[in-house]
Amino acid sequence: MTRIRTLALAAAISFGAVSAALADEPGPDWMSAEQVKENVLKSGYTGVAEIKAEKDHWRGEGIKNGQKMEFFADPKSGALVIEKPVVE
């Protein structure tokens, strides 16, 4: 019984790691991170520190109007859908 539990736990951990890795990969029809960065800069950001793929959007941080902001961008159009100040 212990061996079965160990194997089941190992399988669950492996599946979870694979799922997490796949969730952070841009889809085949997504804009590139560089294209999204260009759109973000055109939207008034003066700097973009990071952009990364998440489940169904791009997420990033940058500076807008002198304030550190977090943003979420549509993966296909690059349009900003959420912008909020980073609270530190």
Q: How far is CA 18 from the centre of its chain?
A: 16
- pLDDT tens-digit profile of 2-38? 666 554 545 555 444 444 444 578 999 999 999 999 9
pLDDT of residue 30: 97
Q: Which fold has domain 2-85?
A: Nuclear Transport Factor 2; Chain: A, (3.10.450)
CA 19, CA 60: separation in Å to the nearest integer?
21
Structure confidence at residue 66 (pLDDT): 96
What is the pLDDT, as a whole number, of residue 32?
Answer: 96
Mean pLDDT across 68-75: 98
77 contacts 62 by C-beta, under 8 angstroms: no
What's residue 77's pLDDT? 96
What's the token pair of residue 52? 């990364």
Q: Encode pLDDT of 34-69 as tens digits.
A: 999 999 999 999 999 899 999 999 999 999 999 999
- Does residue 10 or residue 86 have the better pLDDT? 86
Instruction: Look up tokens 């100040």; give the residue.
Output: 85
